[in-house]
């Protein structure tokens, strides 16, 4: 009896596009498994072993070693610092610029293009200019000198974090501007008109209409900004090389250098920790977002 | 009054826009300087002047306009430095296969995720999504081992293949396909069309904007790639332009600006031509389906 029901179920399942889906997915799945899924699983296993070949299970030893490593702690705290400074700035600035770009302006499209253009300009091609700005003998220090301020070694002091944040914001702000602009343009105009009739003030309108309806976009922009800020290696590598000043030595540098020194255990343990943190963070954000959406309805 | 307000806002935003464009503009104008002028202006980069030994305190002179316009940098990059062209083509021959491959593979998979019902579909899609969020370094070692086992080490395939199968295209094209009403597909099926036919006669024509957006976004991403070639390509002559430029900035400062301009030109032109697709791509991959 149950056997028969199983068969029915299976046939229904198969009718439900299963074979078709397998056909459409096959190519993607094979490649995805080979280059993403399997490496992921392997990395996870390695992080609990003492060798990659015939390794034996060592529990959390690798994580302990990682925890004890000074350069890992430095890299982790730098990454954290970078994220916690750059993300709020990028959110605030892009929100401001999106608001301004959403006003009536002359040549609005050209202005928007100017803000988005850095997104497509390769970092490697503007490295020279950043060097000229921030060098010990650079333009910025010349400016400071003329204001009778002591010059600063931007790239070889704690200021390098500031430089990195500026480069990063310059490069990536267009992304959040685009998202915020779309969010702003999706708010129905008549909400504002109704509020006008009821005599609401500007600030009141901004808080009760704009901000409320922008919140879903805001969630997404914060989420993406934080995740992208973990990927700042490209900018750092190009302006400061593989071994930059201590202050901008990021988790990705650490991982790259562990790879070059063949310390697979620490590398995979760091990778697993990073994945764990990203997952916890993303699930947290999505849970808050769901709460908010329920609250709105 | 409103015109005045509009004018003031435009001026403010115009000033900010100029600041955003400044690094690009300066790179462009400096690319027309002679090597001698570049060296004269910027020889102090990375130099420590010993003021205590009586040397004069000097600064780099950032010049916006060349003394006279010269194409000598471009001539040198294009004709005297075969390395540059070699690496330019390296970049092209990595980026083009990735884009073509990913569009093909991803559009098929996206159809399954957007329009078919099968067991475990949403869970599988979440797994695709998760890999998109991770920095490249997370799977460095196993990727390296797999590339080694497949005999891909130090070949451009070790970069092209993972590029083709990245989850991003699947994610983005699925977003576009979700906007196509299911009734179109039902109607075609009633007329006797199979899924493959639905796919290339209905879906593909309708998601042209999505494919265009994906192409632009992929081009931007892979034209700039740094991490992958740094790890997987040992031979200098196989590396793409992005890595070459970070070296040229140190060694051959005299031609760095022209090389930079040549490097960014394809991107900038594509962007100006297809800005609406680019923007739409970012918005649609941003709005949850």
B225 by Cβ neighbours in 10 Å (0-12 / 13-18 / 19+) ranks as buried
Q: Is residue A55 part of a domain?
A: no
What residues 138-167 of chain B have any CB closer than 8 A to a CB of chain A? 138-146, 161-162, 164-167
Residues of chain A with pLDDT under 50: none
Report the complex ipTM: 0.86
Q: How far apart are the first and last CA of chain B?
A: 42
pLDDT band at B50 (very low <50, low <70, confident <90, very high): low
CB atoms within 10 A of CB A133: 21
**For residue B268, what pLDDT is reported?**
92
Q: How far is A132 from chain B (nearest CA, A)?
A: 7
Express each pLDDT in B259-269 by its tens digit: 899 999 999 99
Q: What is the DSSP string of B244-278?
A: HHHHHHHH-HHHHHHHHHHHHHHHHHHHHHSHHHH
Alpha-carbon Rg of chain A, whole angstroms?
25
Q: Is residue A56 part of a domain?
A: no
Q: Is residue A51 part of a domain?
A: no
The helix-helix angle for A159-185 and A212-229 (nearest 10°) equals 140
In chain B, where the domains are located: 24-70, 83-284
Q: In this structure, are A35 and A88 located in the same domain?
A: no
Domain limits at A40? 1-46
* A146 touches B: beta carbon within 8 Å: no
Closest CA to B148 of A39, A292, A286: A39
Residue of chain B minimizing CA distance to A235: B226
Residue B267 has which token pair? 């991107």
Contacts with B127 (C-beta within 8 Å, 6 or more apart), sequence order: A37
Q: In this structure, are A40 and A105 located in the same domain?
A: no
Residue with token string 């300009």: A121
Alpha helices by DSSP H, listed for A199-263, are 202-205, 212-229, 233-240, 251-260
Q: In this structure, are A11 and A140 located in the same domain?
A: no
Contacts with A99 (C-beta within 8 Å, 6 or more apart), sequence order: A180, A184
Alpha-carbon Rg of chain B, whole angstroms?
24
Q: Is residue A57 part of a domain?
A: no
Optimal mutation site among B12, B108, B112, interface A, most CBs of chain A within 10 A = B112
pLDDT at B19 exceeding the cut of 80: yes
B83-284 classified as CATH 1.10.3720.10: yes
Q: In this structure, are A40 and A81 located in the same domain?
A: no
pLDDT band at B55 (very low <50, low <70, confident <90, very high): low
Q: In this structure, are A32 and A88 located in the same domain?
A: no
**For residue B288, what pLDDT is reported?**
37
* A13 touches B: beta carbon within 8 Å: yes
Show residues of chain B in contact with A29, CB under 8 Å: 109
CA atoms within 13 A on the CB side of A173: 26
Q: How far is the C-alpha of B9 from the C-alpha of A48, rounded, in Å?
A: 58
Report the CATH number at residue A117. 1.10.3720.10
Q: In this structure, are A147 and A218 located in the same domain?
A: yes
Q: In this structure, are A145 and A276 located in the same domain?
A: yes
pTM of this prediction? 0.87
State the total domains in chain A.
2
**For residue A201, what pLDDT is reported?**
82
Mean pLDDT, chain B, whole residue set: 86
Q: In this structure, are A83 and A33 located in the same domain?
A: no
Q: In this structure, are A151 and A196 located in the same domain?
A: yes
Closest CA to B237 of B154, B166, B135: B154
B69 by Cβ neighbours in 10 Å (0-12 / 13-18 / 19+) ranks as exposed
Q: How far is the C-alpha of A275 from the C-alpha of A264, rounded, in Å?
A: 16
Q: Is residue A124 part of a domain?
A: yes
Show residues of chain B in contact with A42, CB under 8 Å: 141-142, 145
Contacts with B11 (C-beta within 8 Å, 6 or more apart), sequence order: none
Q: In this structure, are A73 and A30 located in the same domain?
A: no
Express each pLDDT in B117-132 by its tens digit: 888 888 999 999 888 8
Q: Which of B9, B261, B267 sits opposite A105 (nearest CB)?
A: B9
pLDDT at B238 exceeding the cut of 70: yes
Residues of chain B by 3-state class (helix, strand, coil), percent to 5: 75, 0, 25
Q: Which of A20, A138, A241 sits opposite B116 (nearest CB)?
A: A20
Q: In this structure, are A110 and A36 located in the same domain?
A: no
């Amino acid at each position: 009896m149950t056997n028969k029901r199983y068969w029915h179920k299976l046939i229904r399942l198969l009718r439900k596009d299963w074979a078709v889906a397998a056909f459409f997915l096959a190519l993607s799945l094979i490649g995805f498994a080979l280059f993403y899924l399997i490496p992921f699983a392997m990395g996870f296993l390695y992080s609990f072993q003492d060798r990659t070949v015939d390794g034996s299970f060592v529990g959390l030893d690798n994580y302990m070693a990682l925890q004890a490593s000074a350069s890992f702690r430095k890299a982790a705290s730098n990454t954290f610092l970078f994220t916690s400074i750059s993300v709020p700035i990028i959110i605030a600035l892009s929100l401001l610029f999106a608001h301004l770009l959403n006003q009536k302006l002359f040549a609005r499209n050209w202005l928007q293009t100017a803000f988005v253009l850095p997104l497509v300009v390769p970092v490697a091609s503007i490295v020279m200019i950043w060097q000229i700005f921030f060098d010990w003998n650079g333009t910025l220090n010349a400016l400071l000198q003329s204001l009778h301020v002591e010059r600063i070694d931007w790239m070889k002091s704690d200021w390098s974090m500031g430089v990195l944040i500026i480069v990063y914001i310059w490069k990536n702000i267009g992304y959040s501007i685009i998202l915020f602009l779309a969010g702003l343009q999706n708010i129905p105009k008549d909400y504002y008109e109704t509020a006008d009739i009821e005599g609401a003030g500007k600030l009141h309108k901004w808080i009760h209409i704009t901000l409320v309806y922008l919140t879903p976009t805001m969630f997404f922009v914060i989420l993406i900004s934080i995740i992208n800020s973990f990927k700042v290696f490209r900018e750092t590598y190009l302006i400061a090389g593989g071994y930059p000043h201590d202050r901008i030595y990021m988790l990705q540098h650490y991982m790259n250098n562990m790879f070059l020194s063949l310390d697979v255990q620490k590398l995979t343990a760091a990778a697993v920790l990073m994945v764990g943190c990203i997952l916890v963070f993303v699930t947290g954000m999505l849970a808050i977002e769901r709460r908010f959406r329920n609250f709105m309805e | 009054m409103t015109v005045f307000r509009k004018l003031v806002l435009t001026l403010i935003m115009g000033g900010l826009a100029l600041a955003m464009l400044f690094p690009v503009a300066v790179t462009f104008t400096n690319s027309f300087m002679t090597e001698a002028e570049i060296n004269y202006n910027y020889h102090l980069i990375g130099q420590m002047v010993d003021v205590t030994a009586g040397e004069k305190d000097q600064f780099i002179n950032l010049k916006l306009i060349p003394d006279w316009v010269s194409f000598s940098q471009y001539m040198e990059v294009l004709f005297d430095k075969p390395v540059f062209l070699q690496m330019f083509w390296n970049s092209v021959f990595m980026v083009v296969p990735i884009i073509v491959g990913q569009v093909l593979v991803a559009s098929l998979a996206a159809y399954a995720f957007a329009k078919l019902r099968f067991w475990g579909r949403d869970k599988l899609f979440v797994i695709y999504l998760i890999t998109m969020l991770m920095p490249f370094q997370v799977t460095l070692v196993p990727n390296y081992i797999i590339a080694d086992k497949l005999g891909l080490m130090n070949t451009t395939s070790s970069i092209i293949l993972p590029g083709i199968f990245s989850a991003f295209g699947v994610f983005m094209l699925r977003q576009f396909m979700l906007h196509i009403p299911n009734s179109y597909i039902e109607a075609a099926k009633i007329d006797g069309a199979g899924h493959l036919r639905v796919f290339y006669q209905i879906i593909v024509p309708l998601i042209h904007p999505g494919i265009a957006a994906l192409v632009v976004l992929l081009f931007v991403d892979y034209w700039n790639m740094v991490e992958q070639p740094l790890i997987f390509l040992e031979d200098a002559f196989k590396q793409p332009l992005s890595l070459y430029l970070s070296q040229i900035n140190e060694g051959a400062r005299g031609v760095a600006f022209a090389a930079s301009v040549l490097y960014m030109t394809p991107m900038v032109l594509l962007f100006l031509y297809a800005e609406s697709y680019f923007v739409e791509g970012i918005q649609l991959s941003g709005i949850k389906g």
